[in-house]
Amino acid sequence: ARSVADAIEADDAATRRGLFSRWRRFRVTRYEDDNVRVYKTVPMKLPEGWRGDINHSSRSKDGRVNFDALPADGEGNYCGVLLL
């Protein structure tokens, strides 16, 4: 998305006959990324009797912690991702 916005902004600055020449000047407002996400991959083995053919997921109430696990093989092994 940034490269598209950069290209449109450059085109508009080079010529007023750019893509948005009928409207006001194209501007891009960039905000500081203050929502840094940290993740960790977690191998997971399901207990006997659990279904091994579905995705498992859980989230905290406030949405800051997320855990998703996808089947890695037919033996109950999963590849999980913990996202903070």
6-54 pLDDT, tens digit per residue, is 787 777 777 665 555 566 666 777 788 787 789 999 999 988 888 888 9
Buried b (16+ CB within 10 A) or exposed e, 3-17: eeeeeebeebeeeee
CB-based contacts of 18, cutoff 8 Å, min separation 6: 8, 11, 12, 26
pLDDT of residue 20: 53
pTM score: 0.54
8 Å CB contact between 44 and 6 = no
Question: What pLDDT does residue 44 have?
Answer: 92
CA distance 36 to 28: 21
Q: Count Cβ atoms below 10 Å from residue 69 Cβ, excluding itself.
A: 20
